[in-house]
Amino acid sequence: DSLSNKIAAGEVVERPASIVKELVENSIDAESTSIEIALEEAGLTSIRVTDNGKGMSQHDAVLAFERHATSKISNEHDLFRIKTLGFRGEALASIASVSKISLWTSDGETEGTTVQIDGGVVLEKSDAAFRKGTDMTIAQLFYNTPARLKYMKTIQTELGHTIDLVNRLALSHPNIAFKLSHHSQIILQTSGNGDQRRVLNDIYGMAVAKKMIPFSGENADFKVKGFITLPEMTRASKNYMTLIVNGRWVRSYAVNQAVLDGLHTYLPIGRYPIAVINVESDPFLTDVNVHPSKQHIRISKEGELLSIIKSAVREAVKQSII
Ligand code: ADP
Ligand code: MG
């Protein structure tokens, strides 16, 4: 019902960036190779996400906004080997309850569909010619929850959160072409050619990207690969370390600390690097089901992983400074 959707919205939908995250993750789960995000007023007026993924059938296009209607988990076994970014089927219901949505989608097999939803209520659903893929606009965010709207910071702050998010999603998916724009000004554009270093280049510029040092290490359980700057080079804050586990961007204080430990074996403490750390492991060793935001991860044998990261970084830094 609409009240429980609004309550759930409080957990999943904190600010424009959290909506962009849910929409883009849906596009990624739909196997898109191109994802465009266009914002007006940092997303408070409008967030439009256009993809070339699987799209939805007419039936699924309305079902997608029902709570717990996920197409991604079909049995209990799936729940323990989550490959998709979404799996709770809560995001769209929550977002729909606090905004006005207009959706165009087609699975390329049946007739395309357009759906208009206001505050969770379906106003219109009709046939519409549309290519395969999905185009969703979230307008007037929090128009019916003014208390939440009041918590929004400045346009610059909200935009900053979204840019940061899209940077990290682009880094975790170098094989997807991303385009982020604000009032039709392009902020980030990646090629989708699969080269993570090129994405670093698109985000941080050539001067920084070409000086990033590759590192790698592995054991039977984990494979680690990444890039790091020597901290003298940049004025990065703590927030410039991006951890990607099995293709999913997650946060881990312990991993950041392991990177810093490896770095500071040879370099002075007090400066931070720009770094991207890719970890591959059996999904059984990782659990992202800890919090609805799916941003926190529980890693079995974490100690092993931390020591691989620390020594990989230490060796790479050592090679580059001798
Ligand atoms: P979840 O991602 O947890 O399954 P969501 O509420 O985010 O739940 O989305 C509900 C459903 O809507 C998804 O399971 C998917 O079937 C469909 N969907 C949403 N966005 C897209 C998209 N861009 N392309 C194809 N299907 C989508
Ligand atoms: Mg989702």
> Tell me, which fold does domain 2-189 have in CATH?
Heat Shock Protein 90 (3.30.565)
pLDDT at residue 174 greater than cutoff 60: yes
Phi, psi of 113 (to 5 degrees): -135, 145
- Interface predicted TM-score (ipTM): 0.99
Compare 149 and 113 and report the one with higher pLDDT. Answer: 113
Any atom of ligand 1 within 6 Å of the Cβ of 71:
yes
What is the pLDDT confidence band of residue 135, given thresholds at 50, 70 and 90?
A: very high
Q: What is the DSSP string of 267-313?
A: S-TT----EEEEEEE-GGGEE-TTSTT--B-EETTHHHHHHHHHHHH
Q: Look at residue 77 in the predicted model and tell me its pLDDT.
A: 58
What's the token pair of residue 11? 């957990």
Ligand 2 centroid to residue 215 C-alpha, Å: 32
Q: What is the DSSP string of 218-273?
A: E-SSEEEEEEE--GGG----GGGEEEEETTEEEB-HHHHHHHHHHHHTTS-TT---
Residues 6 or more apart in contact with residue 320 via CB below 8 angstroms:
213, 230
Any atom of ligand 1 within 6 Å of the Cβ of 133:
no
DSSP assignment letter at 64:
T
What's the token pair of residue 255? 């991993």
Residues 6 or more apart in contact with residue 102 via CB below 8 angstroms:
114, 115, 116, 117, 136, 137, 139
Domain boundaries, the chain: 2-189, 211-321
Are 275 and 196 a contacting pair, CB within 8 Å?
no
What's the token pair of residue 136? 């969703």
Any atom of ligand 1 within 6 Å of the Cβ of 87:
yes
Instruction: Please give the average per-residue pLDDT across 179-201, as a whole number.
Output: 97
Which of 211-225, 262-276, 280-294 is the most confident on average? 211-225
% of the chain with per-residue pLDDT over 70: 87
Q: Look at residue 286 in the predicted model and tell me its pLDDT.
A: 84
Distance CA 153, CA 250 (A): 24
Average confidence score pLDDT of the chain: 89
Q: Which of 57, 92, 248, 288 to mutate to test the pocket of ligand 1 (most atoms within 8 A of CB)?
A: 92
Q: Which atom of ligand 1 is nearest to the CA of 85?
A: 2
Q: Look at residue 151 in the predicted model and tell me its pLDDT.
A: 84
What is the pLDDT confidence band of residue 24, given thresholds at 50, 70 and 90?
A: very high
Distance CA 208, CA 192 (A): 20
State the pTM of this model. Answer: 0.91
Q: Look at residue 234 in the predicted model and tell me its pLDDT.
A: 66
What is the pLDDT confidence band of residue 124, given thresholds at 50, 70 and 90?
A: very high
Instruction: Please give the average per-residue pLDDT across 70-76, as a whole number.
Output: 58
Ligand nearest to the CA of 70: 1
Distance CA 301, CA 287 (A): 12
The closest residue, in CA terms, to atom 10 on ligand 1 is: 64
Ligand nearest to the CA of 94: 1
Q: Look at residue 147 in the predicted model and tell me its pLDDT.
A: 86
Distance CA 16, CA 14 (A): 7
Instruction: Identify any residues that bridge with 199 across adjacent strands, giving them in sequence order.
Output: none
Ligand 2 centroid to residue 49 C-alpha, Å: 13
The closest residue, in CA terms, to atom 23 on ligand 1 is: 27
Q: Which of 21-25, 66-70, 88-92 has the lowest mean pLDDT?
A: 66-70
Q: Which atom of ligand 1 is nearest to the CA of 94?
A: 6
> Tell me, which fold does domain 211-321 have in CATH?
Ribosomal Protein S5; domain 2 (3.30.230)
Are 229 and 213 a contacting pair, CB within 8 Å?
yes
